[in-house]
């Protein structure tokens, strides 16, 4: 009860500060989401069109995905310094894997061959047949990527980036459990809201596709 009162008190007393951190967190996450979404989608389409190169590309993505977030941030610091730039690069690397995987799985080559057999060009088959039919699977990858990016962005403050991780980091350094919990709760709520919204969109496309 005392911890809850402390958290609510912080929200009331420092509402503007938390609002600024939330805005910075969303901006940081959105930048990484846009970059990893674009790179992952294009890479997934590319390897779906060229199946022979899919195994090595997926292997590289899997290796990058297994690197702990804090280790990846540490590896990047000598090259990109500290701050939002390093955080965005790390978050983008993490977000690429689910996008590549789901795009590749969703783009069934048999459907493309059937569309081509009906007289469609490769580009027409891709944009009129394959991508619409794969929308549900691709959105599942987007959903995983968005939730993961929002969550991992919480440790970006350890390399000088902004966002709600600043509250978590500050709470840890000054041993303030209420501050740590306040930042963590907002990160979790933001991830949950995005997950629910994208989940509803994913179900809509799957229902429409069926």
Summarised one tens digit per residue, pLDDT across range 97-113 is 888 888 888 776 665 55
Contact assessment for residue 76 and residue 114, using Cβ atoms and an 8 Å cutoff: no
What pLDDT sits at residue 189? 94
- What does the block give as tokens for 132? 């619409």
* CA proximity to 31, closest of 137, 149, 174: 149
Q: What does R_g of the chain's alpha carbons equal in angstroms?
A: 20
What pLDDT sits at residue 30? 93
What pLDDT sits at residue 210? 47
Residues with Cβ within 8 Å of 177's Cβ and at least 6 positions away in sequence, in order, are 3, 6, 171
What pLDDT sits at residue 118? 59
Instruction: Please identify every stretch of the chain with a pLDDT value under 50, giving residue numbers as ranges.
Output: 210
What pLDDT sits at residue 190? 94
Total Cβ atoms within 10 A of residue 129? 19
Rounded CA separation 40/133 (Å) = 18
pTM (two decimals) = 0.84
What pLDDT sits at residue 9? 86
């Amino acid at each position: 009860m005392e911890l809850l009162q402390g958290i609510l008190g912080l929200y009331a007393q420092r509402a503007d500060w938390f609002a600024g951190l939330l805005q910075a967190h969303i901006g940081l996450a959105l930048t990484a989401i846009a970059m990893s979404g674009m790179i992952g989608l294009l890479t997934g389409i590319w390897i779906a069109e060229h199946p022979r190169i899919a195994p090595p590309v997926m292997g590289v993505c899997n290796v990058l995905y297994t690197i702990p977030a804090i280790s990846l941030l540490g590896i990047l610091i000598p090259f990109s310094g500290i701050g939002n730039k390093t955080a965005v690069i790390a978050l983008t690397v993490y977000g690429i894997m689910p996008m590549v995987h789901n795009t590749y799985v969703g783009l069934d080559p048999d459907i493309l061959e059937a569309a081509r057999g009906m007289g469609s060009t490769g580009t027409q088959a891709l944009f009129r047949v394959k991508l619409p039919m794969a929308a549900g699977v691709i959105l599942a990858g987007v959903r995983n990527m968005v939730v993961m990016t929002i969550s991992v962005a919480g440790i970006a403050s350890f390399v000088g980036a902004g966002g709600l991780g600043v509250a978590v980091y500050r709470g840890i350094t000054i041993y303030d459990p209420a501050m740590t919990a306040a930042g963590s709760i907002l990160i979790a709520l933001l991830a949950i809201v995005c997950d629910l919204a994208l989940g509803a969109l994913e179900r809509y496309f799957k229902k429409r596709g069926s």
